[in-house]
Amino acid sequence: MLGWMGGLVRGLSQRTLLCYGLVFFAFVYAPMVIVFVYSFNSNPVNMMAWQEFTFDWYRSIFGLSNKLTEQALYVESTDQLKAAVKNSLIVACTTTTISTVIGTMTALAMARFRFRFKTFYRVLVFMPMIIPDIVLGLALLIYFVTLGGELGLITIIIGHCTFLGSYVFIVVSARLAGMDQTFEEASADLGANRFVTFRRVTLPLITPGVVGGALLAFIISMDDLVITYFIAGVDSTTLPVFIYGMLRRGIKPEINAIASLMILFSLVVASSGLYFRSRAAR
């Protein structure tokens, strides 16, 4: 009797967890699917009323002429869109490189060395992730204005590095926590100095964590809106800020197409990270 009741409880628990998982994934991914589907809707007035299938909104993003954009031109300037994409890529690539170096070095220092106020310093590293984005963006704006600097791509890169280094630090620290230090000790016993040990032993072992942290920083930098909105200059509009500007003038069909491309780009980046991580783990 007790065994039968236990099996029934386990069966109900598994079904409950399965239903919860399905509802959770539907709640998270259903809006993305809707955006992707309606990016092919040809209705230029009401994008939620399906009219017919078309690629015209994707053509309009790339500046290609078509019958819909001739009747209702929603993208004010394709050149502005391309400039926003270029700015986002410049900021994301530069920020990812700097944040990866800083976050990896900080994680190595925290894991391998003992110094005073180590716990306090660790708290300071986590602070940029805990502070609300609007507070951090406003603080950075006041800081740059106080210094008398001109807002632009440089200020955006500095602003992104202030919090993206923390994300890289967490990912690399997790990798270091699971790494066996006996490999480094064996390298030192064989006569290798610290630099050779780092290059030949430590770095290959933590490469999956470094790559994962870099890809995470890249995606967050590409998608950041709040902080970038505060510290971006006139000619340094990034893609999220450009989309937000379009939304303020009404929900337009091209927004679904741009959002779909951003989702696909994020999936490609995440898939690439998983692929390289699986190869490094072999």
Q: What angle, 0 to 180 degrees and rounded to 10, lies between the N-to-C axes of helices 239-248 and 253-281?
A: 150
How many whole angstroms from its chain centre is CA 268? 12
What is the average per-residue pLDDT within 121-126? 86
Is the pLDDT confidence value at 255 over 60? yes
Residue 141 CB partners (closer than 8 Å, separation 6+)? 151, 230, 231
More confident residue, 54 or 171: 171
Residue pLDDT, tens place only, 17-45: 888 888 888 888 888 888 888 888 877 76
Superfamily of domain 78-250: MetI-like (1.10.3720.10)
d(CA 230, CA 178): 38
pLDDT at res. 12: 65
pLDDT at res. 98: 95
DSSP per position, 77-97: -HHHHHHHHHHHHHHHHHHHH
Continuous H helices in 53-193: 56-61, 67-71, 78-112, 118-130, 133-147, 153-177, 182-189
Among 45, 42, 77, smallest CA distance to 57 is for: 42
pLDDT at res. 8: 54
Among 253, 260, 244, 250, smallest CA distance to 71 is for: 253
Is the pLDDT confidence value at 70 over 50? no
pLDDT at res. 6: 54
Residue pLDDT, tens place only, 169-228: 998 888 888 777 777 777 777 777 777 887 787 888 888 888 888 988 998 998 888 999
pLDDT at res. 76: 53
Is the pLDDT confidence value at 1 over 90? no
Residue pLDDT, tens place only, 79-115: 777 888 889 999 999 999 999 999 999 998 888 888 7
Give percent of the chain with pLDDT exceeding 90: 16
How many whole angstroms from its chain centre is CA 68? 33
The whole model's pTM is what?
Answer: 0.79
d(CA 70, CA 113): 64
What is the average per-residue pLDDT within 147-162? 89
Question: Which run of H or of E encompasses 218?
Answer: helix 203-223
pLDDT at res. 92: 92
Instruction: Work out the pLDDT band at 77, boundaries 50, 70, 90.
Output: low
